[in-house]
Chain A
Amino acid sequence: MLVVKNITKSLGGRTILHHINFCLRKGEVIALLGPNGAGKTTLMRCLSGFYTPDEGEVVLNGKNLEKQRFDVLQRLAYVPEAGGIYPDMTVYEYLSFMAELKHLDKQQFDENLSYLLKALDLREVINQRCETLSKGYKRRTALAGAMLSRPEVLILDEPTEGLDPQQKQHLRAFLKKYGREDIVLISTHIMEEVDAMADRVLLIKDGKLVCDTTPEDLKKITPDKDIESSFCTIVGR
């Protein structure tokens, strides 16, 4: 269980997150929604340990992210929006580097790598340099890097951005499957993605959590029974 308690974060003199509180349980795919500049990425960075919140704490299974940083980060993975892969490395080099960072042993690495190469369809490009990969492969490589350690919490910033419809579908199915056992937190603008994947929706507006509900309940807000309309209604457009 990932508990976010009263997180506040300021950057550049501006408070981006105001006292955010929520709790994520295993077996959930959570969609983090919000207009541009609402603080989605900042929140994800706080959850991933990249930013230290000015106030509040992040607790995973009773362990505090600040105090037991390595323990928490061992069970948590984050893929930023831009991918965060090294263009000069080959896919294999990148994945083995990520495995080393997560302190995986050889057996775990072998098993997980074989599985992920197949599941994310990366076998063809394993020896290709990341900079030469298409956007879809790049996203999948970054995802594979994050998932190598089978994290309990997977935090993805706009994971399907730039993918073709087929790839999107494939990835959604994959994440949905993963979310059955673990926590998957995705930030997205695409409402159909929320509809297709999410078990729960967190909506942030101006750095404040304004809605924590299920997609079904969210739809009920407007007469259209449409997430997009509900979203617009809540954010005020």
Chain B
Amino acid sequence: MSLRLGKNIKLVYMGVGIAVLTAALIFCLNLVVGGYWDVTADDRFGLDKDTVKWLEDNKYGVNIRFYVSKDLAQKDVALAGYADYVRRLLAEYQRRSNGQIKVSAVEVVPFTSSQTEAERAGVKEFAAPDNKKYVYLGLSFTDENGRTLAIPQLAPERRDELESDITRLLSVLTANRRPRLGILSPYFRAAEQKNPLRYAENLPFVDQLETLGYDVVSLSKTSPFVPEGIDAVLVFYPLNLEEEALYALDQYLMWGGKVMVMMDVLAEERFKEKEMFIGYNSGLQRLLKNAGVLYREDVLAGDNSNSRELMLSGHFIKYPFWLIVTNDGIAEHPVMKGTKKLFLNHSGFFEYTPQQNLRTTVLFSTGENSGALPAVKAINLTYDGLLKDYLLTDKRYPLALLIEGKFKSLFDRPIVSSAQILAEMPPFLSLPLKEGTLLLVGDSDMAAAALWDAKAGQKHDAFAAATLSDNMRFIESALDYLTQSGYATVARKPDEKPRLNMSDVFYRLAAGVYQPQKKAIADELAEIRQQITEAKERLAALALPSAKQIKNLEELQRTEADKENELRRIAYLTEERYQNYLSWFAVAVIGGLPLLWVLLVWGIYRIYERRVRRRAEEYVK
């Protein structure tokens, strides 16, 4: 008896020993081993080399507090997944920072001190995209002096910009100065208001600039000088600028100022507001001409190879005037560092002749297969009409220029006579004192809301808006260059592959089947509607329309209704086909593929078995 027990006890000891040893090993490894493999194609858990360099150079301590709603996973699984990603990225910041960055997480529970703390730090509650439950997911950054900056809401849509945002805020928080930026634009209210930029209804980029480390002030277009202490001036959508503004910019450049001008032949924002296009006049032509640049204010640049799709007459077409500027058209220049893709809707272009004392660099341009179109034609929204006047050339059109050097003045004497104002402004220069910089961009819509996709939280919160391209990055980088801000900028994670879902693919497949039919009906419908409009106009012109004319109109309207019904039928058929595709896919994946696999394995085994049998039979022989 004792012998048996003794043996079993030995085994039990061994088992317990293994369990304890393994447990200890697992526990220690989890505590000690912090390394990992980043197996993602875009290295999403690693930090950009610019971030790493900044972290290594940084001498200031920063506390990062990560505010997350308790039970976030129960409220929104996708957000919880994103929170986990943010947590991992922050851990990486802490790991690479030589102890300067400290990250701590705060679980936010409503009506407790954690909520108060989050709100005080600048983190805001927002509705989760999936179920609209209110959650907290934000970051605050506090430096050694207690100064705090925050990302109020971490929207998953901005995942690609997350590292860029965090690094930027860290560098803004630890920077010695904040550059001052003057904005001259008809979109803003007068400068005398305390915070005039809040009018920027559809310019989230201005919020973004403030958050990204700029003090932004509005400049008046009637002021003949740029106030002291402005590091750079951004002229956004210049419209009918007065002589005073021209004089201010001219003199600012003579004094060595930095100016960025975002022109626009056809502003989407105005176009959206249904204002009739009557010809654009920036008022800046003389200034540009003085620098050897011509910007035709009535001509749009087009690019047949790189352009976005537009919905016209019920189907998508490649629309040459919604430009996509990719690596091919982007110059190697510090301003363009990290910029990979830009969207410009209805952009003008520049022609330039080199000037003495000025260095002109093309920052980006259209592709090789480009052309030009009179802007007035672009508002005629029929595709054939658009293309009729579209001239294809084989040259690239510069869309942004950087001009640096000693500018000549447009003026030979001050235009201001008031002694009081003269006393306030810097003295008149007819010859340049320092080298100035003028950065010209052919389109201002690239910063407009149309190219921003505001999702979570408030629409105007810069950190909730997801960019579709590198537009904001370009503006940020250009202003950093002009103001010499010294801020760290990190390229956003490249999103080379478009985000596509299986349902999109199936729907496109289903819609593709009916596309020719749909296009034909849509064309017929457009024609019928045209005829109806004409018929109505004719009837309206007549004092007493004939019965035949009325009958004709009625006939046309009946046909219109029929065609509309056909379109509805096609929509129904498309939906039905889409559902069928989903079912077929499910059947294939759940039943077909497994069955095929089983048959394959069975087949392979049968072949093997036959070989073994044959080998066995050889021994019998």
Contact = CB atoms under 8 A, between A and B. Distances in A.
Nearest to B621: A123
A90 interface: yes
Given A92-B612, A127-B613, A117 B4 contact: no
A123 B613 CA distance: 12
A10 B620 CA distance: 46
Contact of B612 (A54, A93, A113, A117): A93
A13 B616 CA distance: 47
B1 interface: yes
- Interface of B, helix, strand, loop or mixed by DSSP: helix
A117 B619 contact: yes
Q: Which of B4, B615, B616 has the most CB of A within 10 A?
A: B616
Contacts of A10: 1, 3-4
B4 A12 contact: yes
Interface in B588-621: 612-613, 615-617, 619-620
A61 to B, nearest CB: 28
Contacts of B1: 10, 13
A90 B3 contact: no
A123 B620 contact: yes
B617 A126 contact: yes
B4 A126 contact: no
Contacts of B3: 10, 54
A13 B619 contact: no
A144 to B, nearest CB: 12
A214 to B, nearest CB: 35
A110 B615 CA distance: 11
A233 interface: no
Contacts of B616: 90-92, 126-127
Interface in B265-295: none
A178 B201 CA distance: 103
Contact of B619 (A12, A54, A90, A114): A114
Interface in A101-124: 110, 113-114, 117, 123
Contacts, number: 32
Interface size class of B (residues with CB under 8 A): 10 to 19
Contacts of A113: 619
A203 B158 CA distance: 87
B620 A126 contact: yes
B618 to A, nearest CB: 9
B608 to A, nearest CB: 11
Contacts of A127: 613, 616-617
Interface residues of A, number: 16
Q: Which of A12, A13, A113 has the most CB of B within 10 A?
A: A13
A16 to B, nearest CB: 12
A91 B1 CA distance: 42
A93 B615 CA distance: 10
Contacts of A114: 619
Nearest to A124: B620
Nearest to A114: B619
A8 to B, nearest CB: 9
A123 B616 CA distance: 9
B95 to A, nearest CB: 50
A90 B617 CA distance: 12
Contacts of B620: 117, 123, 126
Contacts of A110: 619
Contacts of A13: 1, 4
B385 to A, nearest CB: 78
B6 to A, nearest CB: 10
Q: Which of B613, B619, B620 has the most CB of A within 10 A?
A: B619
A93 B605 CA distance: 14
B166 to A, nearest CB: 60
A127 B4 CA distance: 44
Interface string B217-252: 000000000000000000000000000000000000
A93 B619 CA distance: 13
A164 B615 CA distance: 31
Contacts of B4: 10-13
A112 B465 CA distance: 79
A10 B619 CA distance: 45
B615 to A, nearest CB: 8
Interface string B1-45: 101100000000000000000000000000000000000000000
Interface string A63-94: 00000000000000000000000000011110
Nearest to A11: B4
A208 B3 CA distance: 19
Contacts of A12: 4
A113 B615 CA distance: 12
A126 B619 CA distance: 9
Interface string B450-468: 0000000000000000000
B607 to A, nearest CB: 16
A113 B620 CA distance: 10
Nearest to B1: A13
A237 to B, nearest CB: 30
Interface string A7-23: 00011110000000000
Nearest to A109: B619
Interface string A122-160: 010011000000000000000000000000000000000
B225 to A, nearest CB: 96
Contacts of A117: 619-620
Nearest to B5: A13
14 contacts: A10-B1, A11-B4, A12-B4, A92-B613, A92-B616, A92-B619, A93-B612, A113-B619, A117-B620, A123-B619, A126-B617, A126-B619, A126-B620, A127-B613
Given A54-B3, A127-B613, 11 more contacts: A10-B4, A13-B4, A90-B612, A92-B619, A93-B612, A114-B619, A117-B620, A123-B620, A126-B617, A126-B620, A127-B616
Q: Which 7 A-B pairs have the closest CB atoms?
A: A92-B616, A13-B1, A123-B620, A126-B616, A127-B613, A54-B3, A127-B616
